């Protein structure tokens, strides 16, 4: 049983979520204002947040940024009626763990919640806490950070998840499909360029040339750079 915060101002959707999640054995709390949602979304109070984007008081993206800026690590799933890729990418960059576009099937949402709760549990346990060293970089799985020549670089949750896949497989060519499956999961549009976008973000934070494009195949993390 998990404690789930629902930040949703449409009463019908909020009631539907509250009822369905309750039937699935979870406890829920509903708030309809983004400012209130951002204030109470804390690791010690909830296990996961369902966050609408179009909220009164404070929009969902701004609420998400406040939550992450405060250092909270609980999983956040965005609920949005906006299907545009740019909106989704912005949400991931600001610290979202997943998103569901309205209207959605409750079974799909519940499956995504289960996956993110499992991720959150591993995160809070510091599962397999260790340091992975590749070239001049050290990835700390406990702190979820990367250091380059001793300098810690700032990563969003999604950038860290992508980096972790690369650091766990140095020198191995990883296809876009593999990265989509490991980092984004489920049925993200395989024609999307979200992998390329996030590889671009990560390249800016790692030494030049460390993430190599393998034409027609995918990407590879090099263990040494010139």
Backbone angles phi, psi at 2, to 5 degrees: -115, 155
- Fold category of 131-221 in CATH: Arc Repressor Mutant, subunit A (1.10.10)
Helix pair angle (85-93, 60-69), 10° resolution: 20
- How high is the pLDDT of residue 12? 93
Q: Is the pTM of this model over 0.95?
A: no
Average pLDDT over residues 87-110: 80
**126-178 confidence digits (pLDDT tens):** 444 578 889 899 998 877 889 998 899 988 888 888 998 899 888 899 988 88
Domain boundaries, the chain: 3-125, 131-221
> CATH 3.40.50.2300: does it fit domain 3-125?
yes
pLDDT tens-digit series, residues 217-226? 999 999 876 5
3-state helix, strand, coil in the chain (%, to 5): 40, 20, 40
Q: Check whether 122 has a pLDDT greater than 80.
A: no
pLDDT over 70 percentage in the chain: 88
């Amino acid at each position: 049983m998990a404690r789930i915060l629902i930040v949703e101002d449409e009463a019908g959707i909020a009631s539907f979520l509250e009822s369905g999640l309750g039937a699935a054995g979870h406890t829920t709390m509903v708030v309809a204002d983004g400012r209130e949602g951002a204030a109470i979304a804390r690791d010690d109070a909830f296990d996961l947040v369902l966050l609408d984007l179009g909220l009164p008081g404070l929009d969902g993206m701004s609420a998400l940024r406040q939550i992450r800026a405060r250092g909270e690590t609980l999983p956040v799933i965005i609920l949005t009626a906006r299907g545009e890729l740019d909106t989704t990418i912005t949400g991931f960059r600001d610290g979202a763990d997943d998103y569901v576009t309205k209207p959605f099937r409750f079974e799909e949402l519940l499956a995504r919640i289960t996956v993110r709760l499992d991720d959150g549990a591993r995160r809070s346990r510091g599962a397999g806490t260790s340091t992975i060293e590749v070239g001049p970089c050290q990835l700390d799985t406990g702190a979820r950070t990367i250091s380059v020549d001793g300098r810690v670089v700032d990563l969003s949750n999604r950038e860290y998840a992508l980096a972790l896949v690369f650091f766990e497989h140095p020198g191995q060519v990883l296809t876009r499909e593999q990265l989509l499956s490991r980092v984004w999961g489920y049925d993200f549009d395989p024609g999307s360029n979200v992998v390329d976008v996030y590889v671009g973000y990560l390249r800016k934070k790692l030494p030049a040339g460390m993430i190599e494009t393998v034409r027609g195949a995918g990407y590879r993390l090099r263990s040494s750079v010139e």
